[in-house]
Structure 1
Amino acid sequence: MKRLLQLFSLLAILSLATLTSTYAQERNLTGIIYDETNSPMPGVNVIVTGTTTGTTTNFEGKFSLNVPESAETLTFSYIGYFDQSIAIGNTSNFSISMKVDAEQLEEVVIVGYGQMEKKDVTGAMSSVKSEDFNQGVLTSPDQLIQGKIAGVQMTPSSGEPGAGVNIRVRGGTSLTASNEPLYVIDGFPIDNTASDPGTAGVYSASASKNPLASINPADIESFDILKDASATAIYGARGANGVIIITTKKGKEGQAKVNYDAYVGISNIAKKLDVLTASEYRAATQAEGSTPLDLDANTDWQEVMTRQAITQNHNLGVSGGTANTQYRFSVNYLNQDGIMINSGMERIGGRMNITQKLSKKVTLGANMMGSFTKNNNLPYGVGGALDGGVINNMIRMSPLLPQDYSSPNLLEKNPYIMANSVRDFTNTQRVLGNAYVEAEFVEGLTGKINIGGDITSAKRNAYLPGSIEWVGEGNGSADVRNNFLHNVLLEGTLNYTKTFGDVKLNALAGYTFQEFGREYNGANATGFQIDDIAEYNLNAASGDNILVDSYKESSKLISWIGRANLSFKDKYVFTGTMRVDGSSRFGDNNKWGVFPSVSGAWRISEELFLSGSDVLSDLKLRAGWGITGSQEIGNYRSLPTLSGDKSYGAVGIGAGVTYDNYANPDLKWEETSQLNIGLDFEFFNGILFGTIDAYQKHTKDLLLELQAPQPAPVDVYLQNVGELKNHGIEISLNTVNFSKDNFTWQTGVVAAFNKNEVENIGDYEEIFTGAVGGRGQVGQFAQVIKPGLPYGTFYGPRFEGLDESGNAIESEESYVLGQALPKWTLGINNSMTFGRFDLNFFFNGSFGHQVFNNTALEFSSTNDLYGDQSTYNVMKSAAEEDIRATKYNSKFIEDASFLRLSNMTLGYTFNMSNVKSVSRLRLYVSGQNLFVITNYSGYDPEVNAPAGGSQVPPIGIDYNNYPAARTFMGGVSVEF
């Protein structure tokens, strides 16, 4: 922390010294900017050329700017107008007329299989550019836009480096299939299946990792998020959960540029759980007259198990090009320690993007990335009792025991010994790339061939040594697993653009083929006499204690696509899309699905009664409807499949095979229809602008497992039954609050409301899910899926107090106790500039939902505390209330609403006008997860720990989760 304070102090001293020297010799420039109609223009950027010193014009088109005596020119810029550079000379007051740039005025956004002028977009979509990305320690691209887009909720599964993230676009559309959006990177739809092969055994496996963590966030140029069906139907069977289009940075024509960005961060645990300290423990047990095991220690196990974690990140990029060739190359190195000891991730990667014009009508392009990621997996797990992991035992371990305490009792696993003894690493290599050729056949008609591949190889080696007392010499256990995933793409498209008087047509037609495959093999061995490198020498295990496992699977998707966009007088726009998908995952009777959409927009601001308005500069009404699907159910679920095992032979002796899936040739897509109405608006030429959308989504043919007609080789089979719906409102608002002299202040707000409801689950009256963890909780479930209730509904008895013995009193009946899906989500971003200083701070929050605090439940019984020779700790609240025994009930369903100061960044950009070799130099300091306003008692209200249960995965459960971190960092960005 001292180093961090020194870094802040040094930056402040350098910044103030530079600021003092800069403003000691300054003069003031003023002026007014006019548009092509000679009307004053608010919001025009006025910059001292070659620096970041500047301002924007006010509502009257006026500006005032202090510039150094060395400043030679001013640059004036505004979207839709040509940039102008004006020599300063002896002039102190300027009068500038901006000229319209017709090409720039037509802002372009990325849509499925191409791009489109923003004014012609009829669907609900949001775009985030690199200058608006989140800042801080970011390990994967999705973190760049967390909280930035209305209707897109991102919940990390844990605070572990590289942990998975649950992303929902306008609520979930499925119960058993994936609810994750489709990712498209530079035109390549990727398969975002988790590559980590997992582990088996008593290590208590860590949570799944984020597949996007293999991609360097610094390489990303923009995100375009398609939200409604009229926008996502072009992706058909994979568009039901939204589409996130990622565009990476490309080279531009001009002199070569070298960019170097680096930061160093220090992270600490953001919050500790309130368990008993040693003095409180002794006082409680003495008052009870019990005799815990007291080894005269005073151990804060959360302090022992956490640390000041160091993160360093380095990015180097080279870009440039000529009129015919543009290129960008980059390399990245990230090393992030976890705040829990012996955890973290390391990544090294590179990217190459090249565009080559062979002629005026033929262009070649290639995008390629490769990365190597190493995860040091902490065996924190989510289980209790025998399979408890590091987090579970960190909370449970008595503070009266020393750090080196060890016991042969499996229930007393020292978390410090476990974390430092278990070896568990995942090495992941990923190569992702595509190449294309694009040619113009005749005027307006272009064709494109795009081929690509995504290959991931992940190997996990884990070992639990026999040197740990509760394992025992000679009982070491090794686990080795390998996963190999591949995804290949071939697509061809034709695009036709033509203007016929007042009518403009853009039409797309194409064919795509994509194949996905996975090969897996693994082995587990126990009984090692020597612990050294045992996981690399499985034959050293004693006897026949080696179990092997392997499988191979694949699927194919073939599609025909079409889209037509018609614009009349730039006022009325109509779009129709159609996609026909054929998937090998579905039954013979339903391998093909048809996914249409229609939408339209009315640019009201182009009508005569608004075209001359000085107040309302843009107004567009949109409406759309479409159908999308989901095929994320796994492979071979429509077919009869066999499974082999040594125990399947006669009377359990020898090897054999048996059916493990009931054939269903009628299996088909989950189908989601969506209606969207939206309004885009802008006032005062960009001083205030935003979007409002209202939507309704209805999903039918949900995939659920029903009882198979008997006699049959299996008990259940997958069937299309059930329905659910989502409806909601999204608001996005951006304002220029202040713009005068050297100070600007801009605010962006996104807010979304969503209501989810299960309408039908076939033959079931209710489905219970979310198995409650901990001793004495067998057979308990925390959530119910039931018609009329939202997905993620908490259900169970109400807590009604304690009896005289301290046992929980619960209602006999079960009730709805809360819901895991938030009703409202919010993001607030503020950006300020003052001279060469820039300040950004970002809040995000969720409201109107609950979390089941399974961790609190497990450690809320003082029976553990008062046992003879007890080694268990409990929550302080349990001791204060003297709760002797309790089970799952409403007491542990907690309000999870929160508002978080997610990031605050202060930067200073130096004046490089007199430095030939350096064009830009910026230093900055940043704080991440600075504070959270919440009533939730756990580590963090944003949780989604995995929990057992039925076929429907639970959400909103906090069980022995990896804690969230608070991070402070300092960085430098320089361009040569």
Structure 2
Amino acid sequence: MYKNFTSLGLPNRQLRKLLLVMRLTAVIFLAALMQLSASTKAQKVSIVEKNAPLERILKEIRRQSGYNIIYDLNLILDAKPVSIQVNQVNVLEAVQKSLNNQPLTFSVDGKTIVIKERSMADKLVDLVKDIDVKVSIRDSLGRPLPGANVYNKTINKMYVTDKEGDILIKDVPANGYVLLISYIGYKGEEIFVDRKTVTYYVRLTAASSALEEVSVVSNGYQKISKERAAGAYSTISGKELEGTPAVNLMERLEGKIPGVKFDVKSNVVQIRGVNNYAAGSGTPLIVVDGFPLLDPSDRAQLTKTYGVTYGNSIISNINIADIEQITFLKDASATSIWGSRAANGVIVIETKKGRNGTSQVNLSYVFGISKNPSIASQRWMNAAQYIDLEQEMVDKGFLVDPASATPGNAIYTPNNSEATEWMFRVKRGTATVAERDAALAQIAMRDGAGQIEKNLLQNAVNHQYNLSYSGGTENSNFYISGNYTKDVPIYKSNFAENAFINANTSTALFNKRITLRALINYQYNKSQSNSAAVDALSVSTTALRPYDLLYDDNGNSIGRTVIFRQSLANTMMAQGYLPFSYNAIDELNYSNSIAKSNVIRLNGGINGKITKWLNADISISNQRQFSSNNLLNELNSYVGRLLVNTGTVITNGKPVYNVPYGGRYYTSSNNASETAFRGQLNADVAFTKDHHFTAIAGTELRETQSASNSEVRYGYNEDTGAVGIANPTVSYVTMYGYSQTLGNNLSSLGASRKRFLSYYSNASYSYRDKYFLTGSARFDDYSMIGVDRRKRAIPLWSVGLRWNANQEEFIRKLDWINLLSLRATLGTAGVVPQGGSNIPILTTIGSDSRTGQPIANIDNPANSELGWETTKQGNLGLDFGVLKGRLNASFDVYTKHTKGLLASFNYNATYGWSNLLFNSGTLKGHGYEFSINGEPVRAGRFSWKSLLNFSYTTNTVTEARYENNSNNLAGSGSIVNGATLGTLYVYRWAGLDNKGQSQIYDRNNNIINNTTNLTSAFTKEDLVKAGVLYAPYSTGFFNTFKYGEFEAGIQITGYFGHVFMKNAITNYPNFQGAYPGVLGRQEDLANRWRNPGDEAITDVPGLSNVNFNSINRYRFSDALVRKADNIRLQQISLAYQLPKRFLPRNTFKSISISANVRNLGIIWRANKDGIDPEFVSNGNFGTVSPTPSYIFGINATL
């Protein structure tokens, strides 16, 4: 007997171990870093001289600074005497002051200063009074650095670079200026500018070249320097994404962003947990190049095809190779600029742009392959164990012999399996026990897994090709790219492919006072799905038992009759019916569902400079999506044949087809569009050195439209395109003898339109780059909420504070601290409610049989009380960096309070609805995030970089109005007042009785047997609160080792503090009768109770006296609760950068190759059953754990 109980949260012992690991990691970082020499300080110069020869001054500067100063001695001897008094100034400033009022100038090349005579051109320039100089600040890759501080030491004035990374200095004097340039995460630079050069280009290098990180964050409306941001942001660059080759973007991001969960198998993204339940949507807002992506979630309201489900994320609709940077906005200060769409967080994606002065072509190819999972790894019963279960079911009357059915009922009785047919032959007297046993022994020796793996499964393969061309001049740039991806999964006759074309350009006019920009993006998707392989490994009527084969020893296809006995099928086929046989291999060629979509995104904008501190920006975006889904059940397919057969009757010895003879063709199309207009003013003002103010203010209008149609055609001939004539309202006689109609589903139409209006503003003030005050406000209006504007519109806001303590004098004296900042924010954000509207939603269902007039159902009544879901969030953050940027860390703690959640509310049923959605729910949540990255070792050509993320999040239901009863609570993560969202409630297991049936305890430890039904007196207090189903703790640990041109990496992720239910007896029989299809497969069923006394060694109920209560109470008891904590080895990678000496001259700038292994499996798990808690089997192959995938890539730049 296996009993297990897990309390909520991470056990103290594990928590102590985890904290110990984190402490040891930090100690290792510090110990390794402290042993390495720090970079030398920039030399400062101090000189006090009066009327001294210039030569003596220059020699002193050379002595103190180490710079090499070259000059013509005759020029120096003719120079005027110099009086100078400087203390701890930069060498350039000292040289400039020593040359004041001299006919001399200088230039700098590395650590060499050249003194020379001013040329005639220089002297002519001096006569011009109004010469302006532009300084352009870039990073090491040539990307502009907006928000960089440029301090003019000569005149004590502060400048801040604009969004292009530029400043313009008016009226530069003949003797020039010394500028001090600073930017967080980069080494400061001092430069000398004079009137001889109109434009200066300055490239800053990262404080640690090995730890160069994104220093600018984007909220979709503006770019903000990290050193000025009070909100909680996380960023990842396109270069970092390249280090994790995978076709799926979510795989590249998993574990790298603290507080963000990427569930690849479910296509779900969550930022800081969930903020909703019931009908709410928990997806973050996805913003690309300033505008949200068109979210096709409305398609769920337009059509739902054969149970296809979609995750909440559309982030995978982005071409990875086009990504320049992704910014994750997590708290209210960061997200509030998006107002009513931001409560679940915002993901801002910036695509690549051309760079001024450079042009390049980039080519890349990624190939991945993974073996299909082994069926033997699924812990299923083998053929002998399965036959043993069938034998017991036959012996105890759970299975009924179809041959014993009356003639009128024979057609309703499913066929026997091959094994049960032999068992019933003995009961009929047509076979002896010995013959049965011999036949069953032969059947038990079979294993159909090999045929399934060979004919229905395949290795998963994917290909990805990328090509891009970019370039630009000083006033314009462009970027063009193309991508093609094909993904073939493990199931045969399934595939997906997509293609991207992306182009953007930017042009500056009128001395860069006007900037025009344009973007076009096209995406084509196509997928084919076929359920034959999936069904064969499920528990459906067409599933395969462990001993079922697809073909015999001679290679002949084996067709199985499913819905009734083979003898009856033969008789009906002789009358003219189509074959009733089914073989999964044949079905791979039929019943393919083809889905296609075309998505076009157009963005355009113009920016105009009004003054040097104010500019205006107008943007417009139009997105359109055209999608279709076609499903053809050909006549040769099992579904097509069964459809025709069902509508066939024999009249005068001949078949009459009441359903048009041919295939069934379903087609649907969905068109969606979104148009958005935005007008915005941007202000950026620096008042002297101490005061800096930035602000944006604007308005936004948005309209979304969607339209859909679907139709079904019967009697379809693919070769001719002809269809049969069918009247959905006329009844016909079926082969079963009763009458039915095709239903009112031949065609449908749908349409919707929604409008939004917003006003917004965001402002930031800083004092001495130490103290920052930020605030934002947004006013949203939505046409589908409320009746008048007072109820529709909602104001949302945020405030934030930041203190850059490292700028304080007492901290600046500590050379080992380069970053120390404290942040605090508070604000609100909202979510557009899903599932209701202020107008009734109707669905037409056909025409009245008497009047012929159309009739409709009211799916959702008008709800004038419907309002917004809003979340108030507070955040405290700490950022610090030490040892010249070699070790950086951040810590955030937050609280959330969500109210107005849509929840089902009991309603007066006499009005037509027993439940309606109202804004009646509330949640409270909190959590923390920790991230540390560093370079523990940097020695010669070898370096080791490491990143550790850790996060915790939880949400508690504080108001749900009406709770589920105890029977509904058991076994699911239900919504319960006062409980964590996703809390698992289960029965208290009391073992089996002496009849092999389930027993449970109530709260007072009284035993309740399976024949006793639970009453209202049995409440949730009688259940066990076993834990939560979603991991509150998560971690990611990444290490990169580099030696010369080689680079190796390892990626580990972990999830802790949650539980799961072991699916031990899925599809276990609990009633007598016909069981079409496969019974439960789990190996636990082989350990079921059989005889008195077995209750001491097993918890699996026996078949004798079994009922629904017995099965249900065991399935949802604490006997099957397991800890879900696990640590996974996600990836090992190896890359090689070809040295430039090996590259063809004047052709390639760089070539790199890589090889990676992903999904390497679990390093450690808390449960003792060997179950992968992220892929818990539910009796079919759909939840199988992924096998290792091998990914190879090559990247070349021309």
Shift of 1:703: 1.3
1:563 aligned to which of 754, 762, 765:
762
Distance in 1, Cα, partners of 2:307 & 2:243:
33
Shift of 1:455: 1.0
Single out whichever of 338-347 and 636-645 deviates more from structure 2.
636-645
Question: Kindly tell me: are residues 693 and 308 of structure 1, through their superposed partners in 2, closer, same or farther at Cα, counting changes over 3 Å?
Answer: same
Match of 1:717 in 2: 916
Distance in 1, Cα, partners of 2:988 & 2:530:
36
Alpha-carbon deviations, 1:366-424, whole Å to 9, x = none?
22211111112243899xxxxx6864459952121112443332599765555553211
Alignment of 1:607-756 (within 5 A): 607-634=808-835, 637-646=837-846, 649=848, 655-709=854-908, 711-756=910-955
Alignment of 1:543-942 (within 5 A): 545=742, 547-588=746-787, 589-634=790-835, 637-646=837-846, 649=848, 655-709=854-908, 711-762=910-961, 764-766=962-964, 782-811=972-1001, 812=1008, 813-852=1022-1061, 856-859=1064-1067, 861=1068, 872=1079, 874-882=1081-1089, 883=1100, 884=1102, 886-887=1111-1112, 888-890=1115-1117, 891-913=1119-1141, 915-916=1144-1145, 917-933=1147-1163, 934=1165, 941-942=1173-1174
Write the letter of the residue equivalent to 1:656.
I
Question: Kindly tell me: are residues 844 and 539 of structure 1, through their superposed partners in 2, closer, same or farther at Cα, counting changes over 3 Å?
Answer: farther
**Is 1:273 matched up with 2:378?**
yes
Shift of 1:134: 6.7
Alignment of 1:269-418 (within 5 A): 269=372, 272-278=377-383, 280-281=385-386, 291-292=419-420, 297-300=446-449, 303-304=453-454, 305-359=456-510, 360-379=512-531, 391-393=538-540, 397-404=544-551, 405-410=558-563, 416-418=585-587
Distance in 2, Cα, partners of 1:650 & 1:258:
66
Write the letter of the residue equivalent to 1:331.
G
- When Rg is computed on C-alpha atoms for both structures, the one with the higher figure is 2
Question: Kindly tell me: are residues 232 and 826 of structure 1, through their superposed partners in 2, closer, same or farther at Cα, counting changes over 3 Å?
Answer: same
Question: Kindly tell me: are residues 429 and 719 of structure 1, through their superposed partners in 2, closer, same or farther at Cα, counting changes over 3 Å?
Answer: same
**Bigger strand share:** 1
Distance in 2, Cα, partners of 1:965 & 1:107:
37
**Is 1:188 matched up with 2:395?**
no
Question: Kindly tell me: are residues 674 and 468 of structure 1, through their superposed partners in 2, closer, same or farther at Cα, counting changes over 3 Å?
Answer: same
Write the letter of the residue equivalent to 2:263.
T
Would the aligned equivalents of 2:539 and 2:1077 in 1 still touch at CA under 8 Å? no
Match of 1:15 in 2: none
Match of 1:7 in 2: none
Write the letter of the residue equivalent to 2:595.
T
Match of 1:467 in 2: 636
Matched residue SS, 2:378: coil
Shift of 1:116: 1.1
Shift of 1:610: 0.5
Question: Kindly tell me: are residues 204 and 435 of structure 1, through their superposed partners in 2, closer, same or farther at Cα, counting changes over 3 Å?
Answer: closer
Matched residue SS, 1:499: strand
Report which structure shows greater RCO (CA 8 Å, sep ≥6).
1
Distance in 1, Cα, partners of 2:274 & 2:1045:
41
Shift of 1:221: 1.1
Shift of 1:845: 2.0
**Is 1:80 matched up with 2:189?**
no
Question: Kindly tell me: are residues 252 and 817 of structure 1, through their superposed partners in 2, closer, same or farther at Cα, counting changes over 3 Å?
Answer: same
TM-score, L = length of structure 2: 0.66
Distance in 2, Cα, partners of 1:562 & 1:691:
28
Would the aligned equivalents of 1:375 and 1:425 in 2 still touch at CA under 8 Å? yes
Matched residue SS, 1:784: coil
Match of 1:457 in 2: 626
Would the aligned equivalents of 1:825 and 1:845 in 2 still touch at CA under 8 Å? yes
Shift of 1:321: 1.1
Alpha-carbon deviations, 1:265-288, whole Å to 9, x = none?
111245641112335545777899
Question: Kindly tell me: are residues 416 and 841 of structure 1, through their superposed partners in 2, closer, same or farther at Cα, counting changes over 3 Å?
Answer: farther
Question: Kindly tell me: are residues 174 and 366 of structure 1, through their superposed partners in 2, closer, same or farther at Cα, counting changes over 3 Å?
Answer: farther
| Unmatched 5+ stretches in structure 2 | 1-35, 45-64, 67-139, 142-182, 191-202, 396-418, 422-439, 552-557, 565-580, 645-662, 730-741, 1002-1007, 1009-1021, 1090-1099, 1104-1110
Matched residue SS, 1:119: helix
1:243 aligned to which of 336, 343, 346:
346
Distance in 2, Cα, partners of 1:868 & 1:324:
74
Question: Kindly tell me: are residues 106 and 715 of structure 1, through their superposed partners in 2, closer, same or farther at Cα, counting changes over 3 Å?
Answer: closer
Tell me the matched-pair count.
Answer: 864
Distance in 2, Cα, partners of 1:869 & 1:440:
74
Matched residue SS, 1:637: coil
Shift of 1:814: 3.4
Alpha-carbon deviations, 1:126-169, whole Å to 9, x = none?
111122227556444444322111111121344xxxxx334343
Distance in 2, Cα, partners of 1:939 & 1:203:
30
Shift of 1:656: 1.4
Alpha-carbon deviations, 1:521-570, whole Å to 9, x = none?
112345x3x66479x65546687645212210121111000111000011
Alpha-carbon deviations, 1:849-906, whole Å to 9, x = none?
123455x4425x3789999999546211221345446223134544332222222210
Distance in 1, Cα, partners of 2:751 & 2:1082:
46
Shift of 1:505: 0.1
Distance in 2, Cα, partners of 1:449 & 1:322:
24
Distance in 2, Cα, partners of 1:711 & 1:282:
53
Matched residue SS, 1:234: helix
Distance in 1, Cα, partners of 2:679 & 2:1188:
47
Alpha-carbon deviations, 1:780-815, whole Å to 9, x = none?
873321111122222342444334454444445433
Work out the percentage of aligned pairs sharing the same amino acid. 24
Distance in 2, Cα, partners of 1:493 & 1:458:
33
Write the letter of the residue equivalent to 1:931.
G
Write the letter of the residue equivalent to 2:801.
G
| Unmatched 5+ stretches in structure 1 | 1-29, 41-50, 53-76, 85-97, 159-163, 383-387, 772-779, 948-956
Question: Kindly tell me: are residues 768 and 334 of structure 1, through their superposed partners in 2, closer, same or farther at Cα, counting changes over 3 Å?
Answer: farther
Matched residue SS, 1:241: coil
Shift of 1:107: 3.5
**Bigger helix share:** 2
Matched residue SS, 2:810: helix
Write the letter of the residue equivalent to 1:858.
T
Distance in 1, Cα, partners of 2:213 & 2:596:
47
Match of 1:431 in 2: 600
Question: Kindly tell me: are residues 868 and 508 of structure 1, through their superposed partners in 2, closer, same or farther at Cα, counting changes over 3 Å?
Answer: closer
Match of 2:325 in 1: 222
Q: CA RMSD in A?
A: 3.9
Question: Kindly tell me: are residues 730 and 587 of structure 1, through their superposed partners in 2, closer, same or farther at Cα, counting changes over 3 Å?
Answer: same
Would the aligned equivalents of 2:532 and 2:584 in 1 still touch at CA under 8 Å? no
TM-score, L = length of structure 1: 0.81
Would the aligned equivalents of 1:659 and 1:714 in 2 still touch at CA under 8 Å? no
Would the aligned equivalents of 1:704 and 1:720 in 2 still touch at CA under 8 Å? yes
Question: Kindly tell me: are residues 695 and 211 of structure 1, through their superposed partners in 2, closer, same or farther at Cα, counting changes over 3 Å?
Answer: closer
Distance in 2, Cα, partners of 1:265 & 1:683:
40
